[in-house]
Amino acid sequence: MKIGEFYSVVCRIFALNFANCPSEEIFNEIKKNSNWVIKNNNEANLTGSKLYKESLEVKNLEEIKEDFLNLKKYFNAEFFFEGDKKRLEGLYRVCKFEPNLKLSDVDSITSQLSFLSSVLQLKADKKIEEILGVFLSSYFLPYSKKLYPLLQKEAKTKFYRSMGYLFEDFSEGIEKIFNIRVVPR
């Protein structure tokens, strides 16, 4: 599997976890392999992987569902960046990407991860690299740098706290792999 394809799959995993609380069925499937998909020695990955494994020992999903509802406001970029909804609509329109609005808002982290997943699956060329660079530096990474510390701090369950640490590791990995300079916002 190519690195773009691998990161595309990881994008979809995060997108699902930020769109909804896992269902009982999905949570039971996750429990079958309690290891996170990315393993490295970064502090955020080690902390997140440990919390993730511990979070799967939960018997009742009610606490995780409640935590999701409390954190949901952070899952839209407009919480942090006024005007991102309109700007992202424009970018998606130019790129002919249609976010699943039944699942989440245009500016949601889920829509952004879905877009990133789609772009990472495309054959790299100058145009794709340009789109990826603009999207990562102007939208995704500035948003992720606001989101993951809040999840780490505000989440009441190990599941969403782990998502904060694992998302930090993922975001920093994307930033390094693509050598992105984040636009300050």
Q: CA–CA distance from 119 to each of 44, 92, 164 (Å)?
A: 25, 11, 23
How many angstroms separate the CA atoms of 123 and 121, rounded?
7
Q: What angle do CA 74, 108, 70 make, to 5 degrees?
A: 30
Residue 80 has pLDDT above 70, yes or no: yes
Give me the mean pLDDT over the 34-46 stretch.
95
Task: Determine, yes or no, domain membership for 170.
Answer: yes
Average pLDDT of the chain is 94
Using DSSP, state whether 36 is helix, strand or coil. Answer: coil
Give me the mean pLDDT over the 82-106 stretch.
93
Task: Determine, yes or no, domain membership for 83.
Answer: yes
Number of compact structural domains in the chain: 1
Task: Determine, yes or no, domain membership for 185.
Answer: no
Q: Which residue from 163, 173, 171 is spatially nearest to 54, judged by alpha carbons? A: 163
Find the domain containing 93 and state its range: 3-177
Residue 127 has pLDDT above 80, yes or no: yes
> Could you tell me the pLDDT band of residue 78, with boundaries at 50, 70 and 90?
very high
Q: What is the CATH number of the domain that holds 101?
A: 1.10.3480.10
The predicted model scores a pTM of: 0.95
Task: Determine, yes or no, domain membership for 57.
Answer: yes
Task: Determine, yes or no, domain membership for 183.
Answer: no
Residue 21 has pLDDT above 90, yes or no: yes
Above pLDDT 70, what percent of the chain? 99
Task: Determine, yes or no, domain membership for 184.
Answer: no
How many angstroms separate the CA atoms of 100 and 92, rounded?
12
Task: Determine, yes or no, domain membership for 86.
Answer: yes
> pLDDT: is 184 or 84 the higher one?
84
Q: What is the pLDDT of residue 182?
A: 84
Q: Which residue from 39, 142, 133 is spatially nearest to 84, judged by alpha carbons? A: 142
Q: Packing angle between helix 62-71 and helix 158-177, nearest 10 degrees? A: 50
Q: What is the pLDDT of residue 1?
A: 59
Task: Determine, yes or no, domain membership for 182.
Answer: no
